[in-house]
Structure 1
Amino acid sequence: MSDPDDNVGGSPKVHIGRAVSIRTSHKLFCHSLCVDPVIRCDRATPCANCVAAGIQCKTSKDRPQVQRQRVLISGQYERKIDAMEERLHSVETLLMETNKMLRSLLNKEHTISPSSTLTPDVRDTRASFTVDVNMDRSVNGPYDGETSLMAHSRNARRVIEHLLQSTPSMSSDPEVIDALKTLHAAMQGPSRTEASLLRPGPTDEDQESPRTTLPPQESVFNIIRGAQAADCLFFSIWLPFFTPDEFMHLCDQLYSDFDSCSLATKTTLYGGLHYMFAEYLSACKTPFDSIYWAHAQSFKLLFESCLRRYSVLSIPTFDNVLALVFGAGHAIQVSDYASAWPMVSTAANMCQALGWHRLPDGYARDAEAQRILFWLIYYFDKCLSLRLGRSSNIQDFDISVSYPKDPVESEYRSWHLWFLTLIDIATAHGLIYEQLYSPGSMQQLPKQRSQRVLELEFRLDAIAYKSTSIVESTVYRRQYMIYLVKSNAVVIGCLRTLTYRAASPSEGRAGFDIDPRCLSAARLTLRLHQDAIEHVRDRQDGSANDYANWTILNSPFTPFIVLFCHVIVSFDLDDLKLMEAFTISLESLNLRTARPMLNFRVLCETFLLLATRYIRMSTREMHVRDQVPVFSPDSSHATPSSSGYPTAQGRLNRIDLSQEGGNSGGFNFLPPGIFEDWLSGSQDFDQLELVM
């Protein structure tokens, strides 16, 4: 703003109020009075502004220019920068892994409140596929996921935890402690060091095996001709995809023009030759030289090596789908379900890319082979979905392709009916997971779940009736069909048990109350298993091996776990004998490879030992207190439940399982965190102070 006195006498009076910088050959710094308009400097010395203002004109000296240093980014500097980035990335990775390890340790050492640990969770009982939060996923190696059998076993383990906490006198028994340690180890699943298609083999290389690694051609052709003459089941199963003559021609092409054979052709041939050798050598009455078994093993290694070369980006073709189906079947045969799932998923994606799930009706051979191959993948997909607790790749509402057509040969029609029954059983697998055990189904009301159970019950009844009628019309391989129908009955029994197990338990009693229909289904399934075992026990055609891998291990075999939960609560000796007979039957199976069954057998033996020891010690305790007969597994005494003296069920009835308080109730004699340590074998009861 200007002062009123600035315009006295009409002549403007200039005030120098700010400095104006002018860059010339040297920097000129002048003070001038701030008026409008501003008088610009005329760059003279002294400047006109200072002369007009009557002040001394001051100038500033030139500032010395600071020489800039240019940084040249050469290849050496770039390498140093890259090295620093790599080190920073490694530090970040190390910090993340350390964080995961700390979280895992904190989860294991964290003491949960008694109410949350000792009160059974209704949702945990229904949702059999709840993942254990304490599982360490930072360990290198593939994570196989938790199977439905392990989930039900974990639920049974919780039941025995509650009962042991209510009877502290049993906790110091050495056999019980050893059994609990064995159970903990068995529930960890197979060792990560075991062979798996997801892990490279000891002889795997970046390039495929050369022609020289193949067994001698003449030996291979002799086995093929012998298997064809003996009418091996291998050719009957894979007849829709190649005839014996076509298979022989492919083998001849493999040996004569090895380099021109595609990966899919080699995979199919290696897998087919391995299983043909195994079937023919096992069934042949005249023992072959051991070199032929070595040839079968060589084809197996070549087969698995080819399977590892497949990726999700493989081109969708009929040959690739067939090779992946061979691989998925092999993975299930050796109980490598973690490897079977990605192969089935890739094959299912190829089928959908090729449009096989919407094939129009037709009788062309190629279309029929595609239709059969699609339904094989459907069967694998649905069975693995329930066993692994994952959503299936192929949804029922997205399928419009029809079932395979009836064969022209009348002798194969019963086998066609059996294949259709397999498809129905696969559909039941998928529906049980989707409607009863998936996370979305857990949000349903009890009334809705009961309706789902009823619908699945009707569906399983229809499948069972359809399956039992197959044998009557069977002409070709009747004895083997009898075995297949018996196996179907066991699988349907497992599905019934799972269906009824999902029925809503009583309020506050989840894990202890079992639906009577579930108990009946579990008992019937174990009896059906004994019937099937008697049929395959002494057979040399590989039936026992197929039964173990495709019926017991491929199905969620929960009837045994259900009976365990019932036995330790009710002291039912008849059910205990059923469990014992089932466990003994597993040892009598004549298996080519015992490894896949080993972990399941150890699990059953451990549950049986726990149930036997718990009932024996409970009756001994009651004998001391009430002077009643002591239980003996081989005695003919009446069961405790029928004798009138207290059982574990009676003790449970006196315990309020829904209490929220941490210091009340019958299970709180030991802090839950410490009890879990003892259960896992890291703590002894002798070193603990019990809180009574």
Structure 2
Amino acid sequence: MFKLHHCQSQLHTQRNRVEYHSSQAEGIDISTLVSCEQKIDAIAREIGDLKLLIKGLNLPSDENQPTTRSIWNPSQTEPVKPLADYQSISTTSGEPVWDHSAHIIDFIKAVLKDRGSRVFETGAIEVLPSLEKLVQALEDPFAAQDVSLRNTAVAKPRAKPSMPPLDAVVTVLRWAKDHEGFTRMAWLSQILPLQTFTDICRKVYFAVEEYSEIDFLLANGYLSYIFSEHVIVSGLPGYRGYCQLCRENLDNSLSQLPLLLPASMEVIAALTLGTFNAVENSKATVAWKFASAAADLCQTLGYHRFRPQGGTQSSLRATQERLFWTVYAIEKGLSLRLGRSSNIRDAEITLPFDPDESRSTKLGRLNGIVYDQLYSPTGLSRPDDERTFIAATLAGDLRELINDTRTEISNVPDHHIDDETDPMRITYLRCDLVCEFSILALILRAIPMTQGSMNGILDDCLAVAREALDIHEQCMKDLQGCKNDPFMVTKYINWAILYCPFAPFSILFTRAVQLSDMADLARLDRFATSLQPASTPPEAITHPYRLYKLLCQAARLYFDSDTPSQSTEQNTIPNTADFWAEFDFVQSGIETATAVDQSSKTAGSQTYELYDWAQDAQQIMGFLSEDVMF
């Protein structure tokens, strides 16, 4: 700041000298005047550089701020584009909103604006009101947020909650003990040992001593999962009802947890079950609250610190470490999904990263790095070469993880399924593959465009996005064969599509819209259709099918209407040329190949485009956790 004032003082002094010399010009050497002018120009340039530096540091300045702000301001929570690059979207209060991505909003608005110049079919006309509601929600994303669990908005304590009958509970507890190798049983044992869960259930059913609300929560959470797994094998309809009863008890107990909880292993386990339950209810924000609380208590108890194991406490310590890594994995995934900084810093962990650690822990670690290094405000502001190196390294690590998953799938025996065989193992593994390919696409999307790439997206990124959708189709075929548990499709969608940021759709949608690529649009149509629920839910809940289908329909309104019949071999729709000539792809965050060439692939424009795309995808994913109907 002192240097700025000093430079301004010098500039003022030099200007006075020039004015004096001009008034006394006769007899003054012209070279003196030229020298003064050169000094003034140099000082002015230095002041300009200092102003930019001060603005980046967010220090106070005596000068009025310019109308545009710097693109990457470290003092702000997210990078800011110059306001001139956005269109003004008015809210009900009349104030403009600038903090959204203009990409899909402008596209849908253009579709709606162009309705008067086109003749739409009856089915298309019925879509237009839904698109208008979608635009309204996108422009005001915080209007209808709901952070409650389903059916628990007015949950009240019950004196004696109903529980499944004892004989059914004994049956499934014995079955779980005999099938500890099943995928879901092994997953539960990462939270607490199965024997510990069984002891808690015994404590609740044979209440010689008073049991706590945490015990009741853990018992119902555990029973809900093992009843669900048993139904897949047995198909007993009564057990499906017992699963639902335990799930309702779990929801009710979670809604009554106090803000301040005692630090104990059981409480952390209860919060972890609450996190998984919220994910399966499409409540990412609620899941984040539970995961954050669990992470805080893990660090309070020192589960993230290395301690020499020995004596009778070694088994307990191993249980605590497994619980910590379970919390770590899901918390890192939610961090990337919601675009929030993790509560667990890797630099604070002294537990060694076991090379044989579970794939979920490895993926969680990668998720944390992807957000910190690529998609956080700091990550998005990295130079292109640095971002390319980080993304390439992460992509290599994730490809190794994908290879491990595929190897595990190939090792699953292909024989007749009986009571001793886990019927859902391959489906669970393919679900993991969908998540892993989605994150890989997200990583590759961060690599700046190279010469010959279209729309700033690498061919490798597009191939990964398409493969993720192909694996998803295979998963849906597998789930169609699971007749015993009608909720398996919902569970799969919540974990594979909604838990991680599902990047493939946004990547291919942008390209399909820009290039009128009917093959990719057909692929996206199949993806959206595959998510269609068997029955329409009575509540007005934003189902992924509804949202993704609307976006596909918006694209087809221009690709299909008033278009002469033509070969499916053609990718370009000539009839849409006039519309795309009017629609400004660059301003909307969708850069055409021509626009990219004309911009000389500047780092700034690429940063804008990636930021726009990331914000756009984040906002679309956010609607899938809210109770809004379009």
TM-score after normalising by structure 2: 0.66
CA distances 1:195-225 after superposition (whole Å, capped 9, x unpaired):
82399543414xxx33464444344334434
2:514 pairs with one of 546, 565, 569: 569
Task: Quickly say closer, same or farther: Cα 1:480–1:213, change in 2 above 3 A.
Answer: closer
Tell me if 1:155 matches 2:103.
yes
Tell me if 1:607 matches 2:551.
yes
1:467 pairs with one of 405, 408, 411: 405
Task: Quickly say closer, same or farther: Cα 1:438–1:655, change in 2 above 3 A.
Answer: closer
Q: CA deviation at 1:569?
A: 1.8
Alignment of 1:258-273 (within 5 A): 260-273=210-223
SS at match of 1:469: helix
| Contact 1:179/1:609 (8 A) holds in 2 | no
| Contact 1:570/1:647 (8 A) holds in 2 | no
Tell me if 1:435 matches 2:373.
yes
Tell me if 1:489 matches 2:433.
yes
The match for 1:353 is 300
Task: Report the AA paired with residue 276 of structure 1.
Answer: I
Task: Report the AA paired with residue 180 of structure 1.
Answer: L
| Contact 1:436/1:442 (8 A) holds in 2 | yes
| Contact 2:441/2:464 (8 A) holds in 1 | yes
| Contact 1:368/1:404 (8 A) holds in 2 | no
The match for 2:268 is 321
Q: CA deviation at 1:192?
A: 5.3
The match for 1:204 is 156
Tell me if 1:333 matches 2:280.
yes
Task: Quickly say closer, same or farther: Cα 1:538–1:215, change in 2 above 3 A.
Answer: closer
Task: Report the AA paired with residue 572 of structure 2.
Answer: P
Task: Report the AA paired with residue 159 of structure 2.
Answer: P
| Contact 1:428/1:460 (8 A) holds in 2 | yes
Distance between the aligned counterparts of 1:450 and 1:294, measured in 2?
51
CA distances 1:79-132 after superposition (whole Å, capped 9, x unpaired):
xxxxxxxxxxxxxxxxxxxxxxxxxxxxxxxxx99xxxxxxxx9689xxxx9x9
Tell me if 1:174 matches 2:125.
yes
CA distances 1:271-300 after superposition (whole Å, capped 9, x unpaired):
112222233234323443xxx555433322
The match for 1:426 is 364
| Contact 1:328/1:344 (8 A) holds in 2 | yes
Distance between the aligned counterparts of 2:288 and 2:91, measured in 1?
21
Q: Which has the larger radius of gyration?
A: 1
Alignment of 1:383-462 (within 5 A): 383-403=333-353, 420-462=358-400
Q: CA deviation at 1:397?
A: 1.7
Q: CA deviation at 1:607?
A: 0.9
Q: CA deviation at 1:498?
A: 1.8
2:500 pairs with one of 540, 549, 555: 555
Task: Report the AA paired with residue 480 of structure 1.
Answer: M
Identity of aligned residues (%): 23
Please identify, of 596-605 and 326-335, the stretch whose mean Cα deviation from structure 2 is larger.
596-605
SS at match of 2:307: coil
Tell me if 1:526 matches 2:469.
yes
Distance between the aligned counterparts of 2:540 and 2:272, measured in 1?
20
TM-score after normalising by structure 1: 0.61
Task: Quickly say closer, same or farther: Cα 1:650–1:531, change in 2 above 3 A.
Answer: same
Distance between the aligned counterparts of 1:193 and 1:123, measured in 2?
24
Task: Quickly say closer, same or farther: Cα 1:331–1:136, change in 2 above 3 A.
Answer: farther
The match for 1:636 is 568
Task: Report the AA paired with residue 380 of structure 2.
Answer: M
Task: Quickly say closer, same or farther: Cα 1:657–1:210, change in 2 above 3 A.
Answer: closer
Q: CA deviation at 1:321?
A: 0.8
Distance between the aligned counterparts of 2:398 and 2:384, measured in 1?
21
Distance between the aligned counterparts of 2:578 and 2:370, measured in 1?
30
Structure 1 vs Structure 2 CA RMSD: 4.4
| Contact 1:312/1:346 (8 A) holds in 2 | no
SS at match of 2:205: helix
Task: Quickly say closer, same or farther: Cα 1:171–1:268, change in 2 above 3 A.
Answer: farther
Q: CA deviation at 1:354?
A: 1.1
Q: CA deviation at 1:392?
A: 0.6
SS at match of 2:466: helix
Distance between the aligned counterparts of 1:428 and 1:136, measured in 2?
41
SS at match of 2:341: coil
Q: CA deviation at 1:252?
A: 2.7
| Contact 1:164/1:171 (8 A) holds in 2 | no
| Contact 1:530/1:582 (8 A) holds in 2 | yes
Task: Report the AA paired with residue 638 of structure 1.
Answer: Q
Tell me if 1:276 matches 2:208.
no
Unmatched segments (≥5 aa) in structure 1? 1-111, 114-121, 138-149, 406-416, 621-629, 660-665, 667-692
Alignment of 1:196-345 (within 5 A): 196-197=148-149, 201-205=153-157, 209-211=158-160, 213-225=162-174, 228=177, 234-239=184-189, 246-257=196-207, 260-288=210-238, 293-345=240-292
2:480 pairs with one of 509, 526, 537: 537
CA distances 1:611-646 after superposition (whole Å, capped 9, x unpaired):
1111123x63xxxxxxxxx256xx5352227xxx57
Tell me if 1:184 matches 2:135.
yes
SS at match of 2:547: helix
| Contact 1:563/1:575 (8 A) holds in 2 | yes
Tell me if 1:546 matches 2:491.
yes
1:498 pairs with one of 442, 467, 473: 442
| Contact 1:201/1:305 (8 A) holds in 2 | no
Task: Quickly say closer, same or farther: Cα 1:260–1:395, change in 2 above 3 A.
Answer: same
CA distances 1:630-675 after superposition (whole Å, capped 9, x unpaired):
256xx5352227xxx576599559979579xxxxxx9xxxxxxxxx
Task: Quickly say closer, same or farther: Cα 1:593–1:343, change in 2 above 3 A.
Answer: farther
Q: CA deviation at 1:355?
A: 1.1
SS at match of 2:189: coil
